[in-house]
Amino acid sequence: MNKFKEQELISQCLLQIEEILCWGKSLDWHNDVFYELSEAIQERTNVLLSTTTLKRVWGKVSYNNSPSISTLNTLSQFAGYNNWRDFKNHHENFYIREEKKKNTTNLTTILGIASAIALIFISLFSVINANKSEYSITDISKIKFSSKPVTVGMPNSVVFNIDMASIESDSIYIQQYWDPTKTIKINSDQKQATGIYYFPGYFRAKLVVDGNVIKEHDLFIKSDGWSGSIDYNPVPKYLKTQLLINNGLSLPNLIIDEIKSNKLPLTSTYHLVDDLGSISGDNFTLETTIKNVYNDKWAVCQTAKIYLLGSKGAFIIPFTISGCISNINVMLNDVYLNGKEHDLSSLGVDLSTFKDIKISVENKKLKVFVNQEEMFSASYNETMGKLVGIRFKFLGAGEVKQIKVLNASGKTVIKDDFTSL
């Protein structure tokens, strides 16, 4: 197959992914969308494609070479195929048929051009007026889209209330989250829909019509204080708060034994997602003490991640042993640092014993300290909004001894040594 047809097939694969995502036209995608896409692809395929790679493939960054076969295999898997060869086998016949059509329809095409031009001129003004009236700002303003969680804690179902007003379409979806599997198809006359969330967080629900985001709003799923989970897929196992708090956040021995006996890697997570007050996500300090309590078999890397959730973004700060730093990635809201492309060896930390961790954020610059020594720093661009949540995620199991959050003026606004409920 020649290079032109290969590129046509790549474009077709990208279009199928865009249809799956329902995130609107890729021409309008910004940096944060490619981060979400990278996360979604990793979630589904267990392969990480960097935002830089994805931007190159989608033509957002100038790059003359074709995507690697490994990238094409991953994109094909995300689109629902076994690999790139499987995708091509399903689509190459289409281009063979199209080539035969071209050889027999050139004359028809030429004759049809004149008629088409005349038709365009005749109907131009009516088409323009029709397009203006369809999806006008006035029409969109009449659409109603809201939601409400039905309970507190996890799991949590959400009721979406919809009124499409006069807009009709056979392609209407509610995008619950960046994950393309978490979409709900609805009818234009449907008034309600429900969805389920298995983890707390601050989400952005979107109403997507014909591939365009028409309405969106924030959706706050709270954790009801500290909660814990063993992150089985697709449904996690939830742990009662009273089992977690014992002079720190820790897992009962019975749960740790369950994690150890699992043949596949498991993560465990402590969640606090709530209204934490007016704490700027761009100016605050977190102080905590953590360790990883399991480092055998698939947990040998002792990987631990601290998630800091904002109303408009998030930070993910990972730690792992020095030999595994190639496998970690840092997220600073709109800035994504892939361990395969950046030196993150400063975050190589032995967590088999307790380590004091401090994460300070000042004017969109983040610094990480381990046992009072500065280990890592980087800046980001887009605001985090308000601080709304903290997560500790361990490969295997881990403990958190204490936590303290200070606001921009240095005042302690959250403090917990986990000595009692």
The domains of the chain are located at 1-133, 138-221, 227-416
Tokens for 345?
């060896």
Convert the pLDDT of each residue in 316-326 to its tens digit. Answer: 999 999 999 99
pLDDT higher than threshold 90 for residue 252: yes
How many angstroms separate the Cα of 347 from the Cα of each of 59, 304, 316, 327?
33, 10, 12, 11
The most confident of the ranges 201-210, 242-251, 365-374 is 365-374
Token pair 């600073």 is found at 332
**Residues in contact with 371: Cβ distance below 8 Å, sequence separation at least 6, in sequence order:** 355, 356
**CATH number of this structure's domain 227-416:** 2.60.120.200
d(CA 351, CA 344): 16
Q: Which amino acid is at 333?
A: N
Q: Residue 364, by phi and psi: left (phi above 0), alpha (psi -120 to 50) or beta?
A: left
Q: Which of 27-31, 42-46, 296-300 has the lowest mean pLDDT?
A: 27-31
Provide the CATH number for the domain formed by 138-221 in this structure: 2.60.40
For residues 367-395, average pLDDT? 96
What pLDDT does residue 121 have? 40
Q: Is the CB of residue 133 less than 8 Å from the CB of residue 167?
A: no
User: Against a cut of 0.85, is the pTM above it?
Assistant: no
Q: What is the pLDDT of residue 419?
A: 83
Residue 67, token pair as written in the block: 């995507």
Is the pLDDT reported for residue 341 higher than 90?
no
For the chain, percent of residues with pLDDT exceeding 70: 86
pLDDT (0 to 100) of residue 2: 58
Which residue matches tokens 């203006």? 132
Of 160-169, 244-253, 361-370, highest mean pLDDT: 361-370
Residue 82: pLDDT band (50, 70, 90) is confident
Task: Summarize the chain as % helix, strand, coil (round to 5).
Answer: 30, 35, 35
